[in-house]
Amino acid sequence: MKVTDTLEFPDMQEILEKAHNIDDVWTALIAWFSEDPNNLEKIACANKLIEFNNMRNSDLVIKLDQDVREIKDVLRGISRRYGHTITVTRRQKALIGVIAKMVILIQRGEKRGTNVFSSLESLKDFIGIRIVAQTGKKDTPKSQQMAYDIMNEVLRFLVVDKKNTLSTVTQDRTVRELDGILIPKESGVLDVFRDNVKDYFYYAKPNGYQCLHAVPMGPDQQTVEIQVRTQEAEVRAEYAEATSHEAHRLLRYEDFEIPVDLSRVDIEGVTLVEFEGETSVPSGTIYDRVGLVSSVDPLNLLR
């Protein structure tokens, strides 16, 4: 896969077919990017993959579980006030999401005259916490305000109580009218956090993606992405595309696609899923956007 005039990415079909488990995929990717020590662009990609691979099995996961418990305590008041359940889970960026995001950032950086090392510096959302307000199938102004209240309260807790710092974010601030998607009349992010939160509810992506994103950094300099969604936004982002027949043959990340015939992939603990309804999500299973499922650990595959 050609990324720039001088940088290519490996054949994901070949790597996935040879792998027996997700660890094999990570090892193969790191080895491919590391094979030529004189190719600084590939070495930059290898370094980022090594950094993320080390995070997969580090004490950070234990710390993240503690963060999740503390954040749940913070959110109990909001849950009672709105009368809706809030789910809080730790998440790990899908491997296809890592690869796709690397490609996107590198290509964007090339247009701006930025080298690969600098371009990849903004890839900080490998480990995160996802918060979903279970507000029902269709969004309302109240359900979206609940999402804003959640993000504002979580950031207040992380900054004041946990001594996190917040980075300034850049975002396409285009207000769109999208069929069937509710756009709030104004952003509900507090002014003090307005430059630190990507507000995809008010500035929805052209594909209909809506969510709130922020990346706080703890005293240990470790970044963890916070995502906040309503139930409708969660279903739209995670499951809608995965119901299509074509999704079984494409690795997808936002509008980025890598053609892969998943019927030829045999990774331990992973099976292809046949969907029966547009948003059919049987309980106890964890789906990703390529139609893969793990019934044990949501952090062990491409998620």
Q: Whole-angstrom Cα distance, residue 49 to residue 204?
A: 29
- Is 32 among the domain residues? yes
As for how many domains the chain has, the answer is 1
Q: What is the CATH number of the domain that holds 127?
A: 3.30.460.10
pLDDT in tens, the chain (303 residues): 777 777 888 888 888 888 888 888 889 999 999 999 898 888 999 999 998 888 877 777 677 778 888 888 889 999 999 999 898 887 777 777 788 888 888 888 888 888 888 888 878 777 788 899 989 889 999 999 999 999 999 999 999 999 999 989 989 999 999 999 999 999 999 999 999 999 999 999 998 999 999 999 888 888 888 999 999 998 888 766 544 445 445 566 666 677 777 677 777 645 444 444 433 333 333 333 333 333 323 322 333
> Per the structure block, which two tokens stand in for 96?
């296809």
- In-domain check, residue 5: no
d(CA 303, CA 301): 5
3-state secondary structure labels for all residues of the chain? CECCCCCECCCHHHHHHHCCCHHHHHHHHHHHHHCCCCCHHHHHHHHHHHHHHHHHCCCHHHHHHHHHHHHHHHHHHHHHHHCCCEEEEEEECCHHHHHHHHHHHHHHHHHHCCCHHHHHCCCCCCEEEEEEECCCCCCCHHHHHHHHHHHHHHHHHHHHHCCCEECCCCCCCCCCCCCCCCCCCCCCCCHHHCCCCEECCCCCCCCCCCCEEECEECCCCCECEEEEEEHHHHHHHHCCHHHCHHHHHEEEECCEEEECCHHHCCCCCCEECCCCCCCCCCCCCEECCCCEEECCCCCCCCC
Instruction: For strands 212-214 and 225-230, give the pairing.
Output: antiparallel
What is the reported pLDDT for 97?
Answer: 76
Residue 141 lies in a domain: yes
User: Would 303 be classed as within a structural domain?
Assistant: no
Q: What is the per-residue pLDDT for 249?
A: 53
Q: In what order do the strands lie in the sheet with 271-272?
A: 271-272, 292-294, 286-287
Structural domain boundaries enclosing 151? 12-294
Does the residue 302 lie in any domain? no
Is residue 263 assigned to a domain?
yes
Cα 209 from Cα 237, distance rounded (Å): 6
Question: Within a domain: residue 300?
Answer: no
Is the residue at 261 inside a domain? yes
